Amino acid sequence: MRKVALTVALSAGLVLPAAASADAAVKPKVYKNCAALNKDYRHGVGRDAKVRDRVRGSTRPVTTFVVNQKVYDLNKARLDADRDGIACEKR
């Protein structure tokens, strides 16, 4: 009987998932600098997955950044110096 109740609760959306994604746990906020942003987003944060990193002197673009439009929008003016759609990108 417990199994049926749990199944009904899950299908009705009454029980929250146990694990949330890593970027969902971090609330969108304004960061003071890239060091602070990189504590929460190790490889930077981008506006969408289609953007391409423009790193001078490198043949490998950064592809490991987190896509989070809200965080990017809050920080793009100060922290996306090269205006490539990824703020504070790091390898």
Q: What is the model's pLDDT at position 13?
A: 52
Give the Cβ contact number of residue 66 at 10 Å: 18
Rg (CA), the chain: 18
- Give me the residue label for tokens 């090269």: 82
Which one has a higher pLDDT value, 45 or 55? Answer: 45
Whole-number pLDDT of residue 18:
43
Looking at residue 74, its pLDDT comes to 97
Of the pLDDT bands very low, low, confident and very high (cuts 50, 70, 90), residue 60 is confident
Q: Cβ atoms within 10 A of the Cβ of 46, count?
A: 28
pTM: 0.66
- The widest CA-to-CA distance across the chain, in whole angstroms, is 63
